[in-house]
Structure 1
Amino acid sequence: MSAQQYNKLFDEVIKKYHVIDDVDQPFENPYDKNSFEHLLYRKNWIDTVQWHYEDIIRLPDINPVDAIVLKRKIDASNQDRTDMVEFIDSYFLNKFKDVKVKEGAKINSETPAWAIDRLSILALKIYHMKEEATRESASEAHRAKCQEKLNVLLEQRVDLSTAIDDLLNDFAAGEKYMKVYKQMKMYNDEDTNPMLYSKK
């Protein structure tokens, strides 16, 4: 798959979510569970739901109790997002495991999955900025300003997609090599977050 195909899949997920447009709607992945597409679909669904969690929690009149419940959901979603990034990187580690790395090959500052994570978020920015650029209830000035931002986001997607394809081609050719560090987040772990282990 090329990055352009990732973009098409992300757009498919976002469109599917907005048919019901509810953070509590049931999730169904149409792709085979052993496929790379399955990972991408799940990843972008998590991002899409979290995007709307973040909208809801910013409501100025949100009930404080509801806000706490939602904050817990956002925390869980962040952990799911990180887990999915690591699953995607594991896919690439396996894909390139037999590539003979060339002498002088370099490591990239970002793994493919974290670049794809940014591409997934970019798809959401594009979708929602396009909504604002075409919103009939908004002023003409607002729509024009949002269209300018949308144009930049679309250009950014082309650049990022190209960079991802180039990186994967470099891995396949042995020009670069993958090295993955687990995120090892501490705040969700009751053994490493002092606010949690002190309560044991």
Structure 2
Amino acid sequence: MISAIANKIFQRAIEDYHRHDDIDHPIENPYNSLSLEHLLYLKCWIDTVQWHMEDVVRNPDITPEEGLNWKRRIDKQNQIRTDTVEYIDSYYLQEYSDVRAKEHAHINTESPAWAIDRLSILALKIYHMNLEANRIDADQAHIASCKSKLDVLLEQRKDLSQSIDELLTDIAAGNKYMKVYKQMKMYNDPSLNPVLYKKTP
């Protein structure tokens, strides 16, 4: 099932990142560039980098100039994340291009790739909540709270993994079909963001 493969790859990407724990460390994707595995590793690496950017920008001692710089980097990273999700959906559109949808087939509330996006974020939450649940410098109330939250996250990953596998099985069988919409993030487009296109040259 794809969820088991994805969860394993996400864990590897997160662990690979934390060997250096450096936002600017170059990615070393171990998978064939034409494979789904390559996209999954890339997706989680992007998420991991953005996770740490979000930590940095919340530093109360950060200067306004530094904060603005990080905000712009986060915006850029978020666009790369969105593009990568759409690449994963393109993979699945090609994968199931020969499947004929049954007469009463229907679409899902989200595409496979956006569900996988949530699974990648869950992997990060689980990794970092596990760190918090095992901190030696935290009090017992903190540890207990984090362990309780970790249990919920693990259950959530189990449920989401099952849902993704069932969705892909339904698509392959023609019981559901994919219908993908581009995100069209208007604030990143100079022709659609009025602050940008109304700017005096």
Equivalent residue, structure 2, for 1:87: 87
Aligned to 1:7: 7
Question: In 2, Cα distance between the equivalents of 1:184 and 1:60?
Answer: 32
**Superimposed CA distance per residue, residues 147-169 of structure 1 (whole angstroms, 9 cap, x where no aligned partner):** 00000000000000000000000
Identity over the aligned pairs, expressed in percent?
A: 62
Match of 2:192 in 1: 192
- The CA distance in 2 between the partners of 1:83 and 1:13, in whole Å, is 18
Q: Which runs of 5+ in 2 are unaligned?
A: none
Query: Aligned residue for 1:181?
Result: 181
Match of 1:47 in 2: 47
Counterpart-to-counterpart distance in 1, 2:30 and 2:66: 32
Distance 2:19 2:8 in 1: 17
Is 1:144 the equivalent of 2:144? Answer: yes
Matching residue of 1:100: 100
- In the TM superposition, residue 30 of structure 1 has moved relative to its aligned partner by 1.1
Match of 2:65 in 1: 65
SS at match of 1:31: coil
Give the CA deviation at 1:178.
Answer: 0.4
Deviation of 1:189 (Å): 0.5
Moved over 2 A (4+): none
Q: Whole-Å Cα distance in 2 between the matches of residues 172 and 124 of structure 1?
A: 29
Q: State the 1:142 CA deviation.
A: 0.4
1:25 alignment partner in structure 2? 25
Query: What is the correspondence of 1:112-191 to structure 2 with a 5 Å cutoff?
Result: 112-191=112-191
Paired residues in the alignment total 200
Task: Provide, for residues 50-81 of structure 1, a one-character-per-residue CA deviation record: whole Å limited to 9, x for no partner.
Answer: 00000000000012111111111000011001
- Cα distance between partner residues in 1 of 2:43 and 2:52: 15
Amino acid at match of 2:56: I
> In the aligned structure 2, how far is the partner of 1:26 from the partner of 1:98?
37
Q: Does 1:34 align with 2:37?
A: no
TM-score by length of structure 2 reads 0.98
Q: What is the letter of the counterpart of residue 38 of structure 2? A: H
SS at match of 2:165: helix
> How far apart are 1:100 and its partner, in Å?
1.4
Structure 1: state its 5+ residue gaps.
Answer: none
The amino acid that maps onto 2:85 is V
TM superposition score normalised by structure 1:
0.98
What is the letter of the counterpart of residue 12 of structure 1? R
